[in-house]
Homo-oligomer: A and B are copies of this chain.
Amino acid sequence: MDRMRTHLVYAHPHRASLNAALRDEAVQTLEGLGHTVTVADLYAMNWKAVADFDDFGPTESDAFIDAAAEAWEKGSLTADVKAEQERLLAADTVILQFPLWWFTVPAIMKGWMDRVFTNGFGYGTSRAWKRYGDGLLAGKRAMIVVTTGAADAHLSDRGINGDINDLLFPIQHGVLFYTGMEILPPVVITGAGWQTDYADMVKLLRHRLETLAETEPIAYRRQTEDYDENKRLLPGREPEGTTGFALHAA
């Protein structure tokens, strides 16, 4: 494998947590494979979670979305946001690791998304903006590593919490694939701390990191190929009876 660069974005409030141990295993494994690894440990960095006008420097725009675009164009975004954008641009692989809190990322990681994937970098308001399979981060691979307190069955296809793959769709498809990255199937550790042995978790995580390059990405549909001018899936593209988020993967 060529020398690769991985950016690991990590959020857990407890420095000695199971998640922290898994993060260290991940870094060690990746470095052992020859990757250069950068880590954004959001709690340790005291990452600012709330996107607001302070992110933009002086602005003449009233509307938030316009002020964001102005800051991107002028290069006046705050240094913490710029640094994360640069680490993303430099990486081949992006990993988000977090505990599932209320069925999505902790607020501090949502704040990483809100602030880093700002107007001009993560999205644009033009109809010509490249998205869903293309964008500034095209050519990179992204993978989620998530721990859940909930049991495996509760997050299974008929589980009461909803299927974990559907719960992760807004992040994997709506954030990461949106910005151009290819999405590898997530590493999901359910029943963390009571249902799953630590040794088994590490084995799974290592295996997935060792096979990053040859793992097949989720076959999300590209905006340019399978959708009409109103961004609706073209008729007949899906197996009969498919509904919901499943429509958007081939």
B51, B108, B246: the one within 8 Å of A243 (CB): B246
Q: Which chain B positions have C-beta within 8 A of A248?
A: 160, 162
Indicate with 1 or 0, residue by residue over A100-116, a CB within 8 angstroms of chain B CB atoms.
01111111101101100
A114-B101, A163-B244 as given contacts; A17 in contact with B63, CB under 8 Å: yes
Asked whether, in the complex, the Cβ of A17 is within 8 Å of the Cβ of B166, the reply is: no
Copy number in the complex reads: 2
Q: Which chain B positions have C-beta within 8 A of A3?
A: none
A149-B65, A223-B160, A230-B151 as given contacts; A114 in contact with B102, CB under 8 Å: yes
Asked whether, in the complex, the Cβ of B170 is within 8 Å of the Cβ of A14, the reply is: no
Taking the closest CB of chain B, its distance from the CB of A120, in whole angstroms, is 14
Taking the closest CB of chain B, its distance from the CB of A109, in whole angstroms, is 8
Does A139 reach chain B (CB closer than 8 Å)?
A: no
Interface residues of A in 9-29 (CB under 8 A from B): 12-14, 16-17
Asked whether, in the complex, the Cβ of B49 is within 8 Å of the Cβ of A108, the reply is: yes
Asked whether, in the complex, the Cβ of B161 is within 8 Å of the Cβ of A174, the reply is: yes
B149, B153, B169, B227: the one within 8 Å of A162 (CB): B169
Per CB-CB distance, the 10 closest pairs between chain A and chain B, nearest first, are A107-B111, A244-B244, A153-B230, A103-B174, A103-B170, A107-B110, A49-B49, A160-B231, A158-B233, A158-B232
Q: Which chain B positions have C-beta within 8 A of A241?
A: 241
